[in-house]
Structure 1
Amino acid sequence: MRLPLSLKMANRNYQDAVQALNSLQSNYANIMAIRASGDRKNMMNIWEMQEWSRRIGYSVSDFNKLNVIHITGTKGKGSTAAFTQGILNQYKDTLSKVGLYTSPHLRSVRERIRINGEPITEELFSKYFFEVWDRLDETSSNEDKFPHMTEGQKPGYFKYLTLLSFHVFMQEGCGTCIYEVGVGGEFDSTNIIEKPTVCGVSALGIDHTFMLGNTIEEIAWNKGGIFKEGAPAFTVKSQPKTGSQVLQERAAERHTTLSEVPIFEHLKTIKLGIAGDFQIKNASLATALAHQHLVSLDILKEPLELASSAKIPDLFRKGLEQTVWEGRCQIIRSNNITWYIDGAHTKESIEAASGWFRDVTATFNRKKVLLFNQQSRDAKALLGYLYETISPAVEFDAAIFTTNVTWKTGNYSADLVSLNTSKEQVDKLEVQQNLQKEWILLNETEHRNVEVTSSIEAALDLIKNMGEPVDVFVTGSLHLVGGFLVVLDGKPT
């Protein structure tokens, strides 16, 4: 896509960048066609990312300067990345700038590209965004080798942001970068990194089957694709047995080691910055990754003992305590409403988040409300897992099923526009009405206690009008959580 003349002017701003970025999203029909065809990603995905990098002025080997920590997994990879960043930020006097690339974002796309814990500014985002855009417009590829990279073509949404992150971190002089894999690992666009300092795999589960496969073994094979020769790899204990075996095989193929990380007892004595008892597993993995990274840079001299009794450095403990990661076991108190927020969207994560809400609120004598959506995965199954986990300890007095549309006007916040779902399905509230029926069957409740809304703003109005103390569990989707936080801020964009 080529920009209109108005967007080629020197005064292009952040909103112009977001508009151009949104134009790179795959539409719903295209995604469904890929799923139906069974076409899974292959090496062309990696070759194209290497070529895009060349087009904007980099050899892939240039990115070795970033000293990347590469993290994949099904559940907890984002939290692990955040904890790793929290630890390494305690060493920023030595490390200088620490970059973090994650997905998806909640309020603003800038959250995906952070330096020293902070999203890059709108000015930096738009500056570097259009530098990449213009370089792609000014260069070309051999169309025989790269038939999907014709003149004027740009990478898709996630690939573009990955490319942008490399450019930002290189230009800003980041000497340590943490990369969270988007989907899988083997063919993910982040996997052009040749020499990471260390790799990590959080808990495995079944997700993104149309791209990664239907079994835990196939998914583990994909995740293990980030392993590189000479870069130690770490994973959490208690992985599915067959998945763990595949990860070990992948490590052997790549001529590296894979070590299991226990839960460190010392971490049980601190209050982690991300709530939820299950987060100690992610914090332990982050501890191992950060420690190995610092050893590889010769900042720490001794490897970490992988025993539950291992002594954890004080700076590590401080970093884990100060980690902030919105939308994961987050609590916000506003007047007489307490919001319990987690963007869980897989079986494992919805069970963990539901257990957290149950354990925290079961003894509170307040009304309980569920605010839920999941637009693209098996929403009814997720709702069932939630109900099984939370009952009978907690009974909801009401449930609201909303779309991810931000405002009652029918508009999305600019950074949250999504073309990856069926507009017709959203407009007709098909998913929400099916969830309403499912919840009534699960709870044997009356229809009046189960509402459907066409926007997140409308859902929040219903809750605020209840006029009494209430605990609200917001879950099912990070897209829902992002829109919820924007509406709660009350700042239409």
Structure 2
Amino acid sequence: MPKFSNLFGARTYATKTRTYSDAIEALNSLQTNFATLEAIRKSQKKSQALAIPEMIEWTRRIGYKPSDLDKLNIIHVTGTKGKGSTCAFTHSILARYVPSVLSKIGLYTSPHLKSVRERISINGRPLPEEAFARYFFEVWDRLESSSSPSPEEDERFAAMGAGMKPVYFRFLTLLSFHVFLSEKVDTAIYEVGIGGEYDSTNIIERPTAVGISSIGIDHTRVLGSTLTEIAWNKGGIMKTGTKAFSVEQPKEAWDALQGRADEKKVELVEVPVHPIVKQTKLGIDADFQQINASLAVSLAQQHLTVLGHPPSPACDATSLNDEFLEGLKTASWPGRCQTIIEPGEKKKLEWLIDGAHTDESITVATKWFGKKARKDSRKVLVFNQQTRDAGSLVGKLHSILGTDVTFDEVVFCSNITWSSGDYQSELTSMNTSEQEVRDLVVQKQLAEHWAKLDPGSKPTVVRTIEEAVKYVRGLEYDDVQVLVTGSLHLVGGLLVVLEGR
């Protein structure tokens, strides 16, 4: 039995030496299990109303006020598709200004692919295991030993749930605040988790710049079922006194964003694709990344200007300086438009990997694969999605490729990492039905669905990601291109298996 056995009953780890493995075990105990998640979703409006007050109280209990975060000079980024890539491009640009202008750049993103430490990085490096464990238990212990300032407050926050430890993502957000403030980070880039208005990152009061990537339909039970509702929620990260930048949006989304900007007295600027970006080979190599790179250019330029160090030579609507160009060319974002070629004397095996998991992201990832597909190669699809409408996603993927690119083999697997039935410890997921995952319910349905979509290809169901990799490697074709998509959980597990860890 784990030492940290349930969501809110986790106890202090009593030994003198607390390791990184102990931290991961404790952190995993804060995941919301499937049954609890369903209950939360049914009372979503109540949970949302309490989200920010809870987060402010937890922040106080670990020793900080929201205004303390101003020291981090935060760039805050939301969106449905492309917000992580935007953060990666922004970080890569600003890294060219270390140490001449900036000292330490913190980056907080989600989800992680292989290690939770990826979510909290400084100057491009995930927090080392020893430091992660130390800071983790500092936050853990402060929450354990603290209480609200008065019996009335204590009772009120206990009723809200703030007397308990926060769930997984909120805890990591608290941890990022503690790490970045302790390490004296002077620039931080924060990717919103879900939405914006009620997201745990939205206790930030004075960001240097706000970015909004492409908005689409996703997380409807949390954010609303229309573009207007979703955009309203994402526009919640705008702050009075801070300039906001958005890529071109559908009219309903733009109108909702502009309404929020007017409400908060914020200047909202629409960012087109920069002409120089169009001519540049981006580090994250896909045509659709041009708009995310252009948004990053605007965010980095505004950030440097607010800090009193406008880029020199200046960047404008028609030109970019060497630092910005180099940042765009060297940006990387694993699991997004990523290509891995496995060396082999007899067979060329190329993995084309993108964690697309929404209609919009599946569309652009599929088009990316279509451009990469070689005429004479054998094509394989490896797909997993447990929580969204998986049938709709594979249907869209099939319709986009049409008859131009067809798959010889299609492999549906669960998000379990190893053939032993175990998850990689940092990829453990409790927010799906364990029984459905083990019984491969979704995978079997997808195989039946695909057989109707494309009778000419061979659908196969396997239990785990490791078995999917073994199956692909065992195919007796000379030239194989594999599209891996549908879930960042799948992509993370695949990268772990490919590395043999």
TM class by shorter chain equals over 0.9
Distance 1:166 1:80 in 2: 21
CA distance in 2 between counterparts of 1:44 and 1:167 reads: 22
Matched ranges for 1:185-334 at <5 A? 185-237=196-248, 239-300=249-310, 307=317, 310-334=318-342
Q: Which moves more between the two structures, 470-479 or 295-304? A: 295-304
User: For residues 216-259 of structure 1, what are the alpha-carbon distances to aligned partners after superposition, in whole Å with 9 as ceiling and x for unaligned?
Assistant: 0000000000000110000012x100110110110111111000
| C-alpha distance in structure 1 between counterparts of 2:361 and 2:70, whole Å | 33
> What letter corresponds to residue 397 of structure 1 in structure 2?
D
Rounded Cα–Cα distance in structure 1 between residues aligned with 2:313 and 2:160: 44
Compared CA separation, residues 359 and 416, structure 1 to 2 (3 A): same
The answer on 1:407 being equivalent to 2:413 is no
For the pair 1:349 / 2:361, whether they are aligned, the reply is yes
Distance 1:277 1:174 in 2: 33
Aligned to 1:61: 67
The 5-angstrom pairing of residues 11-410 of structure 1 reads: 11-37=17-43, 39=45, 41-93=47-99, 94-141=101-148, 142-148=153-159, 153-237=164-248, 239-300=249-310, 307=317, 310-335=318-343, 336-361=348-373, 363-410=374-421
Give the Cα–Cα distance (whole angstroms) in 2 for the partners of residues 144 and 408 of structure 1.
47
Is the 2:378–2:408 contact (alpha carbons within 8 Å) kept by the matching residues of 1?
Answer: yes
The answer on whether the counterparts of 1:137 and 1:152 sit within 8 Å (CA) in structure 2 is: no
Relative to structure 1, the CA distance from residue 150 to residue 404 in structure 2 (aligned partners, 3 Å threshold; closer, same or farther) is: closer
Matched position secondary structure for 1:145: helix
In the aligned structure 2, how far is the partner of 1:490 from the partner of 1:117? 24
Contact 2:110 2:193 in 1 (8 A): yes
- Deviation per residue, 1:372-428 (Å, 9 max, x gap): 011000000001111111121111000000000000110000000000000110111
SS at match of 2:98: helix
Deviation at 1:267, TM superposition (A): 1.2
Amino acid paired to 1:340: L
Q: How far does the alpha carbon of each residue in 1:414-445 deviate from its partner, in whole angstroms, 9 at most, with x for none?
A: 00000000011011110000100111111123
**Within 2, Cα distance between the matches of 1:302 and 1:245?**
35
2:456 aligned with 1:456: no
Gaps of at least 5 residues in structure 1 are none
User: Secondary structure of 2:309's match?
Assistant: coil
Structure 2 match to 1:483: 493
2:20–2:129 Cα contact (<8 Å) kept = yes
Q: Matches of 2:411 and 2:426 in 1, distance apart? A: 24
Which residue pairs with 2:4 in the alignment? none
Distance in 1, Cα, partners of 2:359 & 2:9: 41
8 A Cα contact 2:313 2:321, kept in partner: no
Secondary structure of residue in 2 paired with 1:8: coil
Contact persistence 1:288–1:304 (CA under 8 A): no
Q: Report the CA distance shift for 1:69/1:346 in structure 2 as closer, same or farther (over 3 A).
A: same
Letter in 1 for 2:86: T
The 3-state SS of whatever aligns with 1:69 is strand
Q: Within 2, Cα distance between the matches of 1:284 and 1:40?
A: 37
- State the Cα RMSD in Å: 1.6
Aligned pair in 2 of structure 1 residues 323, 157: CA closer, same or farther (>3 Å)? same
* Cα separation, 2, equivalents of 1:52 and 1:161: 12
Cα distance 1:303–1:158, how it changes in 2: closer, same or farther (>3 A)? farther
Farther off after superposition, 30-39 or 292-301 = 30-39
The residue type paired with residue 281 of structure 1 is: I
Structure 2: runs of 5 or more not aligned: 1-7
Q: CA deviation at 1:269?
A: 2.1
Deviation at 1:105, TM superposition (A): 0.2
Secondary structure of the structure 1 residue equivalent to 2:197: coil
**Distance in 2, Cα, partners of 1:432 & 1:303:** 54
1:38–1:2 distance in 2 versus 1, CA, 3 Å: closer
Distance (whole Å) between structure 2 residues aligned to residue 118 and residue 421 of structure 1: 30
Is the partner of 1:99 in helix, strand or coil? strand
Shift in alpha-carbon separation, 1:301–1:18, aligned structure 2, 3 A = closer
Name 2:453's counterpart in structure 1: 442
SS of the residue aligned with 2:216?
coil
After superposition, what is the alpha-carbon deviation per residue over 1:173-209, rounded to whole angstroms, capped at 9, x for unaligned?
1000000000000000000000000101000100000
The answer to whether the 8 Å contact 2:366/2:401 transfers is: yes
SS in 1 for 2:266: coil
**Preserved contact between residue 301 and residue 315 of structure 2 (Cα < 8 Å):** no
1:429 aligns with 2:440: yes
Distance (whole Å) between structure 2 residues aligned to residue 147 and residue 127 of structure 1: 27
Number of residue pairs matched? Answer: 484
Find the residue that maps to 1:312 and give its secondary structure: coil
